[in-house]
Amino acid sequence: MFRFKRFAVRQERSPMKVGTDGVLLGAWAAVRPADRRVLDIGTATGLIALMIAQRAPEAQITGIDVIDVAEARENAAASPWGHHLTFEQCAVQSFEAAEPFDLILSNPPFFTESLTCPDDGRTIARHAVTLSHEALCEAVLRLLAPNGHFAVILPVSEAERWFAICNDRLRLLRRTDVRTTPHRAPKRMLLEFEPATASAEPARPVCDELVIGTGEHERYTPEYRALTGDFYLKF
């Protein structure tokens, strides 16, 4: 079990454990006052859904995944926000919603050309086998409200592929390049989009950088501490 300040995540059965990527996305994604319907695509243990529930306790949050969501349901039931969280086991390609979502998040299976893992569960969770970038983009466009927004975390190596797929359909609002230490190249991108058809005049995207560690063992930057401080026990 992984314990955070206000909830805990059981992860014995899930092929994808609590990791830095999910925590980054759950803490970084903008949550607007009007975000009342939230969708977490590829929810796994329910980590990101729980983080958003902590940040927006009045929102109704749905998590979906092709893998078993029983553990996510258990984690939600043990949290202070269980009545605001629901989970469904299904592919997002076939997921239907009564109303569009104000905010959609995804820490998706993102490797498209690397070798798959011998563990079938981790292959589904980490590699774009059941959810390609194209399918994710189509699902977001179908399920997102006209003035909604979508947040995703991707490896830098996959970002250009994603930009090419969503070009002219999703408009970039924010981008944060993530370095593990000051002297290493960025490994991840945190990205926030809105539909290209959104009524507001497009503004220049906000682009910045986040460094996680100082380079010394178990030493973290003030920026990373500030971003994740409401969640990690160590901060």
Task: Give the model confidence (pLDDT) of 32-90 as tens digits.
Answer: 999 999 999 999 999 999 999 999 999 999 999 999 999 999 999 999 999 999 999 99
What is the 8-class DSSP label of residue 220?
Answer: B
| Kind and range of the H or E run holding 19 | none
Task: Give the model confidence (pLDDT) of 128-184 as tens digits.
Answer: 457 999 999 999 999 999 999 999 999 999 999 999 999 989 999 999 999 999 999
> Could you tell me the pLDDT band of residue 115, with boundaries at 50, 70 and 90?
very low
Q: What is the pLDDT of residue 11?
A: 95
Q: How far is CA 32 from CA 6, 55, 77, 102, 231, in A?
A: 21, 10, 25, 9, 19
Going by their DSSP bridges, the two strands 37-41 and 60-65 should be labelled as parallel
> Are 39 and 107 in contact, with CB atoms under 8 Å apart?
no
Q: What is the pLDDT of residue 33?
A: 96
Non-local CB neighbours of 138 within 8 Å, separated by 6+ positions: 93
> Could you tell me the pLDDT band of residue 198, with boundaries at 50, 70 and 90?
confident
Q: Which residues of 53-65 are buried (b: 16+ CB within 10 A; e: fewer)?
A: bbbbeebbbbbbb
Name the β-bridge partners of 104.
Answer: 39, 150
What is d(CA 109, CA 127) in angstroms, rounded to the nearest whole number? 5
Task: Give the model confidence (pLDDT) of 94-109 as tens digits.
Answer: 999 999 999 999 999 8
Q: How far is CA 223 from CA 34, 125, 162, in A?
A: 26, 29, 27
> Are 105 and 52 in contact, with CB atoms under 8 Å apart?
yes
Q: What is the pLDDT of residue 110?
A: 67
Could you tell me the pTM of the whole model? 0.91
Q: What is the pLDDT of residue 202?
A: 73
CA dihedral 224, 54, 15, 96 (to 10 degrees): -120
Kindly indicate whether the domain formed by 2-228 is annotated with CATH number 3.40.50.150. yes
Q: How far is CA 40 from CA 28, 52, 104, 172, in A?
A: 14, 9, 6, 19
> Are 74 and 117 in contact, with CB atoms under 8 Å apart?
no
What is d(CA 188, CA 119) in angstroms, rounded to the nearest whole number? 24
Residue 7 φ/ψ, nearest 5 degrees: -160, 170
Q: What is the pLDDT of residue 109?
A: 80
Q: What is the pLDDT of residue 129?
A: 55
